[in-house]
Structure formats: structure tokens, C-alpha cells
Amino acid sequence: MRVNQILLTVCISTAFFACKKEDNPVVVAPPTAVTVNSLAANPTSVSSVSGQQPIAATGKFTLFSFKDGKQVANTDSATNKWDIGFRSTTIIINGGPLRSGQGGAYTHTGTFDALTAVPTSASFAQDQSATSLAITAAAGQGWYNYNQATNIISPIPGKVFVIRTGDGKYAKMEILSYYQGAPANPDATSAARYYTFRYLYQPDGSQNLK
């Protein structure tokens, strides 16, 4: 009888704690989109944006980590700590024979919000050489259009880039502006080589982009 009472108590206690555990599940917040404003990309003048390393036409790429949401030092260029790099209109990805990361890029035509997962048909390109990049630097073919009459560069509407990061995770990115302060109508007085873009990084390694 005593043994039965002990077993009954153990069973009740186990059930109680199991219920308590289920009543308080761990809730993981979904990833959210982040906007990066006026990231200097080898400008011809020093950035006035606070907290940014002045680069001022050094010829170096500005490396960026989606995971950390910040610029990565060029001394870490041979690691997988960065995912994407910017220099003037050229964009590099941390993957392929030139890099040490697992990165790649897929160009999607559509809207940022409507792209909720990596397409099953997505084929990720990698940087193969300085002239053969995952995201081409040619006007009208990669991420931007160039107006010869006004000398203005503008992002191609409907271009969303799915980026496989340096450590093999995924993010989506849309470039919004190439000019400091992201003016609605940039002109000859607008400081160029400052990227404003938004991205959503998926930290769990899945291909879910919402």
C-alpha cells in the first residue's frame, strides 16, 4: 500500500511539472527587417554618419555582417565573419574561390515583403573573379540603373537579393538608395557611395524569410 501511494505521488508530480512546462513554452520571436542607413562604400568624402569608420576613397570594400548588423573590419576579410561587401557600385559576397566563407547570392524579381522563403528553384552564384561576381556591377544588369543625362544611379525596382551568408545561413536584402541620407530625388550635389538598404536575417539556419 505504501509503495502504491509513493508511485501515485510520483506520477502526479511528474504530470504536474510536465503540464507546467507545456504551459510556459519558449517563444522565439520571428526575425524582423532592419534598415541600414548611409553605409559608406569607399566614398570620395568622409562620412558624416556617426559610428561609422571613415573610409574616404581607400579602395577597400566595406564589409558587413547581417548576423551582427554592423560593419566588419577589413582585417577580418579572410574569415566568415562578414557576408557582403560594398565599394562604389561593386558588391561582393563572402563565398566562392576568392573568399573563405560559404556565401552566395540569388537575384529575385518581386517585392521584399512577398518573398517569404528561399525559392526552391534558387541557384546561388558566387564571386569567381574580380570581373565575374555573384551580383554583377554592370548598369542595368545587377542592382542599379544609370542615367547618363543626370549621372544618377538608382536601384532597379523589384530586385531583391537572397544572400547565403558567410556561415551558411540566409538573408534577403533590398537596396533603397546609393546616396547619403537616401534623398527621394538625388541630384549632382548628393554625396554618392552611401548604401541604404533593408534586410531580414534568419538566424536559425532555415530558408524561412518572414
CA distances from 23 to 9, 10, 17, 26 (A): 21, 20, 10, 10
DSSP assigned state of 74: G
Give tens-digit pLDDT for 83-132.
999 999 999 999 999 999 999 999 999 999 999 999 999 999 999 999 99
Give tens-digit pLDDT for 40-91.
999 875 444 444 444 445 689 999 999 999 999 999 999 999 999 999 999 9
> What residue type is 43 in one-letter code?
P
Element (H, E) at 137: none
> What residue type is 123 in one-letter code?
S
